[in-house]
Amino acid sequence: MAASWLNLLLPFGPIVQEDAITYHKHWWVLLRQMVLPLLFTGVAILALVYVLPLFQGWPKVGVAAGSFLPLFWLYWRYENWRNDYYVVTRDRILDVEALPLAMGTEIREAPLSNVQNVTMRIPNVMAASLDYGDILVETAGHEGQLTFLSLPHPRQVLQEVMSRVSQYRQRREDEEAQRRLRETLEWFVAYNEVNRILVLRSPHQVKGGETIDVEWRVAGLPAQIETYLSWDVTSHPQDDYPYTAPPLQGGIGNYEASFSAPVADRVYFKVFATSQGVCYRSLEHQVDIRP
């Protein structure tokens, strides 16, 4: 618990919370911002110790009040450093800049889907020696470019951001593949439940002039349907057949129809069903004609 509180007060390293990683600026940035406040704070302490006893009355109160201003400046610089941070989640990236005492907050964010390029920049020799740098995130949306300034261990941050972007894209691809699979399965289910016209019985071969008896089943369609048998002797496949047996009215169930074998080498037939203006058809079947 003490380590977590210390990490919150002095977040020199990344803070991991569930699927989010929070980064703060390098400690060198804090140190640079606090040099002058620390100097003036030291002067204020000396004033309180050595100068304040020399005054009496209201001037003494003014010196005491003025000596606390550097302490407030010190607090402001520290809070201003701690309140600026960058967050990478499993699907978003955020740049948060907040002033102390809740005087203003600006949040820029972009979904990882909009990230086009991520680069690292080491601005100077000091940054290289202390291992800090900038991460530049280019996005395709209105966010433009998000810049993470003065992050410690920028190479690790770069790898983490790129890894998050890659994982996000992989999840999206997996979700899209699953969606397509679900649609395909739903299509097959719908096909089997709505468009299932199965030929149950038909001869494979007959003599010319004999009767070809066909039995089929219509399943999964609305109650009122019209179904019929059509055939042709030309080369196939095609959707429309010139010869059709009288249509049969009814609901789902088994139907029978027949036609005479034409003078040809073979005959092709399909079974059709029409319901609510939609036409369904079976697979094409073939019967060979013997002389």
Are 18 and 154 contained in the same domain? yes
**Top-ranked range on mean pLDDT: pick from 90-104, 120-134, 182-196:** 120-134
In this prediction, residue 130 has a pLDDT band, given cuts at 50, 70 and 90, of very high
Pairing label, strands 205-207, 285-290: parallel
Give the integer Cα–Cα distance in Å for 194 and 45: 87
CATH label of the domain that carries residue 276: 2.60.40.1930
Q: Could you tell me if residue 107 is inside a domain?
A: yes
Alpha-carbon torsion (280, 285, 290, 291), positive or negative: positive
Are 225 and 285 contained in the same domain? yes
Res 38: pLDDT: 78
Retrieve residue 13's tokens: 């390293």
What is the average per-residue pLDDT within 262-283?
Answer: 86
From the list 248, 284, 255, the residue with the least C-alpha distance to 267 is 284
Q: Among 83, 105, 127, where does a domain finish? A: 83
Are 4 and 124 contained in the same domain? yes
Are 267 and 143 contained in the same domain? no
Please, which residues have CB within 8 angstroms of residue 90's CB and are 6 or more apart in sequence?
19, 20, 112, 164, 167, 168
From the list 109, 191, 188, the residue with the least C-alpha distance to 148 is 109
Residue 143 DSSP symbol: T
Q: Could you tell me if residue 155 is inside a domain?
A: yes
Greatest CA separation for the chain? 134
From the list 137, 133, 111, the residue with the least C-alpha distance to 122 is 133
Give the integer Cα–Cα distance in Å for 250 and 263: 33
Give the integer Cα–Cα distance in Å for 102 and 87: 19
215-263 per-position pLDDT tens digit: 999 887 666 889 999 999 875 555 678 899 999 999 888 999 999 998 8
- Domain of 221 in residue numbering reads as 196-290
CB atoms within 10 A of CB 289: 19
Are 55 and 95 contained in the same domain? no
In this prediction, residue 3 has a pLDDT band, given cuts at 50, 70 and 90, of very low
The least confident of 14-18, 22-26, 43-47, 236-240 is: 236-240
Q: Could you tell me if residue 261 is inside a domain?
A: yes
Retrieve residue 120's tokens: 């690292």
pLDDT at 194 over 60: no
pLDDT at 2 over 50: no
What is the average per-residue pLDDT within 112-122?
Answer: 92
Q: Among 151, 169, 187, where does a domain finish? A: 169
| Average pLDDT of every residue of the chain | 84
Please, which residues have CB within 8 angstroms of residue 105's CB and are 6 or more apart in sequence?
96, 97, 98, 99
Domain count, the chain: 3
Q: Could you tell me if residue 54 is inside a domain?
A: yes
Are 235 and 150 contained in the same domain? no
Using a pLDDT cut of 70, give the percent of the chain over it.
Answer: 84
Q: Could you tell me if residue 146 is inside a domain?
A: yes
Rg of the chain over all Cα atoms, to the nearest angstrom: 40
Statement: the pTM of the whole predicted model exceeds 0.85: no
Are 78 and 206 contained in the same domain? no
Are 273 and 155 contained in the same domain? no
Res 283: pLDDT: 85
Are 203 and 278 contained in the same domain? yes
Retrieve residue 196's tokens: 């299932």
Res 256: pLDDT: 96
In this prediction, residue 55 has a pLDDT band, given cuts at 50, 70 and 90, of low
Are 14 and 146 contained in the same domain? yes
**Top-ranked range on mean pLDDT: pick from 28-37, 201-210, 278-287:** 201-210
**Top-ranked range on mean pLDDT: pick from 75-84, 153-162, 219-228:** 153-162
Distances (CA, A) of 194 to 45, 182, 183, 274: 87, 17, 15, 11
Retrieve residue 134's tokens: 């900038």
Beta-ladder partners of 111: 92
Give the integer Cα–Cα distance in Å for 156 and 139: 20
From the list 204, 221, 287, 291, the residue with the least C-alpha distance to 255 is 221
Asked if 110 contacts 139 with a C-beta cutoff of 8 angstroms, the reply is yes
Are 118 and 262 contained in the same domain? no
Give the integer Cα–Cα distance in Å for 210 and 156: 82
Give the integer Cα–Cα distance in Å for 280 and 271: 9
Q: Could you tell me if residue 190 is inside a domain?
A: no
Res 61: pLDDT: 58
pLDDT at 1 over 50: no
Cis peptide preceding 237, ω within 30 of 0: yes
